Amino acid sequence: MWREGYVPGGETRFFVRALGSSDWRDAGEGNGSRDDLALLLHGWPEDGSSWAAVAPLLHEAGYRVVCPDLKGFGRSDRPRRGYDPRTLGDEIAQLIRNLHARKAVLVGHDWGGAVALATAFRHPGLVRALATVSSPFRQIDLTAAWHIPLLNIPVLPEVAFKVAGVPLTKALIRHTAVVQEPFTDEVLERYAAAISETPSGWLAYYRRLSRKALLDWSVRRVRRSTAFLREPAEPNRLRVPAVVVWGEEDRATPIHLARRVAHDLDAELVTVPGVGHFVHEEAPEVLAKAVLDLAGPAEHPAIGGEPEARSSGSSGEG
C-alpha cells in the first residue's frame, strides 16, 4: 500500500510516496540504516506519481521504493533558489540518509536524471547503482528541445503555465510520448497541477541547469577546435555502476544523444524501440528489468516479505 507524507532533505521538505516502508516517516529518529531503498526521481512536466507502474515492480524485488516530488514540483517545497547541481545533489543525499538507507538505487528521468547524477558524482558512497532515463548529460539538442530557449524567456513562461497549464502540459506530453495509453486526461491534469501553481520553482531547472549545460557545451566546442585545449576522450569518473535507458522514438531528447551519454558515464546503454520520452510510463517493465539487471534484488528485503524479482519485457541494447 502506498504511504504519503513529508521527509526533509537539507533545507527542502520533500513530499514522498512510498511502497514497502514502515519507518520512513520517522526520519532522523535513529531507526537504523538499510540497503533496500530505490529512490525514483521524476522529470518535467510530472510529479512522483509518474512512477506508479515502475515502483511495484521494484518493490517485488524487495526494495522500499520512494518517489518524491522534486524540489519545485508538486507538493514539495518550491523555493526560488538552490537549483544548482551541488545543492540539488546534497539535498537528495540528505533525503537518502533521512530515509534510513546506507545506499540507494537511484533512478532518474529527464531532470530527475540530472539530479540523480549530481548526487552520484558528489556522494558516490550513498549510491548503490544509478539508472538515468532519457536524460541528457553535457549536451542538449536544441533542434528537438526547442522548449528550453522558450522557458528561459523572463516572465512569459510563468504567466503561460499559470493561465494555461493544463492544455500546455497535455500538448507537450502528447507530442513527446509514443505510447499514449498511460496518459489519461486525469493523469495529465494531475501533472499540470504539479507544475502550474508555482512555475518559478521548476523553471529554475531550465534557467540554472540548462544554461550551465549550454555553457559547458560551448567550452567543449572551443576546446575541440584548439589542439592544446582538447580534453582526453575518456568517460567521466562516475564511481557507481550505471545504466542509461532511452526510448528510440524520443522527440524531446533524441536517441543520438544516448550513446554519447552512455560513453561519458561509462555506462551500459539500453534502448527501447517503439517508445518516446517517457520510458517509465510507456514501457515500465522494460525499465524495471534494466534497473534490476544492474542492481539486482534488494540486499535486505523490504518489510512485508521477500518476493522474487520480476523479469519481463524486452529491450534492445545500443
pLDDT of residue 214: 52
Q: Which three cell numbers stand for residue 149?
A: 530557449
pLDDT of residue 290: 98
**CATH number of the domain that 276 lies in?**
3.40.50.1820
How far is residue 17 from each of residues 6, 41, 88, 216, 249, measured CA to CA in Å? 9, 11, 19, 35, 30
Give CB contacts under 8 A, 24+ apart, made by 137-140: 137/113, 137/261, 137/264, 137/265, 138/213, 138/216, 138/217, 138/220, 138/260, 138/261, 138/264, 139/213, 139/217, 139/257, 139/260, 140/210, 140/213, 140/214, 140/217
Sheet hosting strand 127-133, strand order edge to edge: 3-9, 12-19, 64-68, 37-41, 104-109, 127-133, 242-247, 268-272, 316-317
* pLDDT band with cut points at 50, 70 and 90 for residue 287: very high
pLDDT of residue 306: 34
39-56 burial: b if 16+ Cβ within 10 Å, else e: bbbbbbbbbbbbbbbbbb
Percent of the chain with pLDDT over 70: 80
The mean pLDDT of 277-301, rounded to a whole number, is 92
Q: At 169, is the secondary structure helix, strand, or coil?
A: helix
Q: Out of 140-149, 154-163, 226-235, which region has the weakest mean confidence (pLDDT)?
A: 226-235
pLDDT in tens, 105-139: 999 999 999 999 999 999 999 999 999 999 999 87
- Which position has the higher pLDDT, 308 or 69? 69
pLDDT in tens, 74-90: 999 999 889 999 999 99
Phi, psi of 29 (to 5 degrees): -95, 5
Q: How many residues does the chain have?
A: 318
Q: Which domain holds residue 173?
A: 3-317
How far is residue 230 from each of residues 223, 226, 238, measured CA to CA in Å? 5, 6, 21
Separate counts of helices (H) and strands (E) for the chain: 11, 9
Phi, psi of 51 (to 5 degrees): -90, 15
Q: Which residues pair with 242 in a beta bridge?
A: 130
pLDDT of residue 238: 86
DSSP string for 30-62: ----BS-EEEEE--TT--GGGGTTTHHHHHHTT
Percentages of the chain per state (helix, strand, coil), in multiples of 5: 45, 15, 40
Beta-carbon contacts of 18 under 8 Å, excluding residues fewer than 6 positions away, are: 2, 3, 4, 24, 64, 65, 66, 67
pLDDT in tens, 214-271: 545 444 444 444 444 444 444 557 889 999 999 999 999 999 999 999 999 999 999 9
pLDDT in tens, 294-310: 999 987 544 443 333 33
pLDDT of residue 228: 45
pLDDT in tens, 17-36: 999 865 555 444 444 567 79
pLDDT higher than threshold 90 for residue 194: no
- Distance in angstroms (rounded) separating the CA atoms of residues 304 and 35: 16
- Which position has the higher pLDDT, 16 or 152? 16
pLDDT of residue 25: 54
- Which position has the higher pLDDT, 54 or 30? 54
Other Cβ atoms closer than 10 A to 25: 14
The mean pLDDT of 278-284, rounded to a whole number, is 98
Total structural domains in the chain?
1
Cβ–Cβ under 8 Å, residues 126 and 9: no
How far is residue 12 from each of residues 66, 70, 78, 158, measured CA to CA in Å? 16, 10, 8, 22
Q: Out of 41-50, 193-202, 262-271, which region has the weakest mean confidence (pLDDT)?
A: 193-202
* pLDDT band with cut points at 50, 70 and 90 for residue 182: very high
* pLDDT band with cut points at 50, 70 and 90 for residue 210: low
